[in-house]
Structure 1
Amino acid sequence: MKNIKMIVTDLDGTYLRTDKTISEYSRKIITECRNKGLLFIIATARPIRAVKDFLSESDYDGAIFHNGAVVKLGDEPFSGFGIPNPGKIISILLDAHPGLHACVEMQDRLYVNFDPGNIWEGIEYTLTDFTDLPSGEADKLLLEATSVEDMKRYEPLLPQDLYIQLSENAVAMIMNKKAEKMRAVKEIAAHYQITPEEIVAFGDDYNDMEMLQGCGIGVAMENAIDDVKRLADEVCADNDADGVAGWLEQHILNAAKEA
């Protein structure tokens, strides 16, 4: 087993159970790992506000939000890569695809032109036609998309410094090309003088693939999409069986006891 110094995990479908809870067992294992000096980093497409219900800033050492558009160490901002002129980009997309369901994430608020409840149950949002967005950069843009084909219809309309990625077969996320989970992981690791080889990463979806490939050990969840499982070094139990915690207990905590 490699000398692991940092744990990075996705949230939805990975560290979180399907009902969006974290078991006491998982919390206990993470606490034990942190007590042994390992850093615990969360890496999620979620905004900051959508993590606070189940994790406080004291529960992790660092956090990657919006796939890397916003990065924090504890409660302090660390780095970020936003999208300039979000209103203009949305206008171009809507002109080409009238009736398109779109969202803009900025300043930790969600601006939408439709009711997003069928995608994110109970989410708070601001209804808009996007002409009254606040000034500044967006963290990400989201378009309703149920397939790769849907997503590819929008790609030619985007500026060259942005990329688009399908998530959970429900939305296409548009991000700054510098806003990637693995880039943020490397930045945090370098800050603590940790190499990628000394990191174990857990994930289940397309936006976790580069992270699983780039870290010393990439672990896919049993419930991960097939593409993620194929490239991972290992597969652990599914998210509802506390797969992240189970792997850490077996390979980190128990291995340390046996050493």
Structure 2
Amino acid sequence: MNIDMIVTDLDNTLLRSDKTISGYTRDVLNRCRARGVRVMFATARPPRTVRRFALGFEPDAIAYHNGALVMDGGRELCQAGISGADARRIMLRLSTELPGVTLSLEQGDQLYANFDTDIVWRGEDCVRTDFSDLPDLTVYKLIVGISSPEDIARIAPLLPDYLYAQPCENTLALIMNRRATKLGGIRDVAAAHGIPMERVAAFGDDYNDIDMLRACGVGVAVDNALPEVKAAADLLCADCDADGVAHWLETNVLGQHG
């Protein structure tokens, strides 16, 4: 199995359920990179929350906000956001159409919300707002509280054509630019380094990982992944609390280069 780049989701994939990675996983990632394999993270998280993990490992590239912001070697490779005016209009419309809905968004590296975010993101620094005075700056994603993935059908008709809504962990809908996907970020990074997609291995567990698992040369779902994600993957590995990604890499990537 010839792999030149590894791409992994963070939460419930590379990270254990306590949001840490083991020394073993860190060692495997470092050994992969020492063998010339590029390592990329792809996450729905913003930069500030990734920094808090203190993983002890710096990837070669990272797609934040589900691919709305892609950094490669410490420089911005690309971004695909939502205009501040559109974000403001959509949030006000959602507030009217879905009374009581929890709404938040990421602008710059700041979270804005219409509710007490400690309920879902304990300790997160947040600006409380009704979105009527949102600055006219690029927004990376809108976040809507939902009760099931089926709620997406109520949200999608309210969006302009350049945006899409995607469920996350069955409790949130992420609204983003159609160009902002993990897969799009992977393609941009791979192209920048001359790496064919068939030589990329991707790991994930949630709905927003499905496209990258299907499109990369090898798509691997952790054992704790959603059923739909497992169905989209080529292979399965052990769950996140058993260092599944690292064990797969040691066998299939380090073994390849050994």
**What pairs with 1:222-233 in structure 2 (closer than 5 Å)?**
222-233=223-234
CA distance in 1, matches of 2:106, 2:203: 25
Q: Offset of 1:148 from its aligned partner?
A: 1.6
CA distance in 2, matches of 1:249, 1:81: 34
Q: Offset of 1:233 from its aligned partner?
A: 0.7
CA distance in 2, matches of 1:56, 1:192: 25
Q: Offset of 1:55 from its aligned partner?
A: 4.5
| Aligned pairs, number | 256
Q: Offset of 1:76 from its aligned partner?
A: 1.2
Structure 2, unmatched stretches of 5+, are: none
CA RMSD of aligned residues (A): 1.3
Other-structure match for 1:211: 212
SS at match of 1:4: coil
Residue identity matched to 1:224: A
Assess, with a 3 A threshold, how the Cα gap between structure 1 residues 152 and 162 changes in structure 2: closer, same or farther.
Answer: same
Matched-pair contact (CA < 8 Å) for 1:6–1:40: yes
Q: Offset of 1:120 from its aligned partner?
A: 2.1
Other-structure match for 1:176: 177
Matched-pair contact (CA < 8 Å) for 1:144–1:171: yes
> Which 10-residue stretch deviates more, 128-137 or 155-164?
128-137
Residue identity matched to 1:180: T
CA distance in 2, matches of 1:244, 1:57: 17
Runs of 4+ displaced beyond 3 Å = 55-58
Other-structure match for 1:254: 255
Q: Offset of 1:88 from its aligned partner?
A: 1.2
TM-score, normalised by the number of residues in structure 2? 0.96
Assess, with a 3 A threshold, how the Cα gap between structure 1 residues 83 and 211 changes in structure 2: closer, same or farther.
Answer: same
Other-structure match for 1:33: 32
Residue identity matched to 1:18: S
Other-structure match for 1:78: 77
Q: Offset of 1:116 from its aligned partner?
A: 2.1
Structure 1, unmatched stretches of 5+, are: none
Matched-pair contact (CA < 8 Å) for 1:57–1:75: no
**Identical columns (%):** 46
SS at match of 2:211: helix
TM-score, normalised by the number of residues in structure 1? 0.96
Assess, with a 3 A threshold, how the Cα gap between structure 1 residues 37 and 184 changes in structure 2: closer, same or farther.
Answer: same
Residue identity matched to 1:253: L
Other-structure match for 2:114: 113
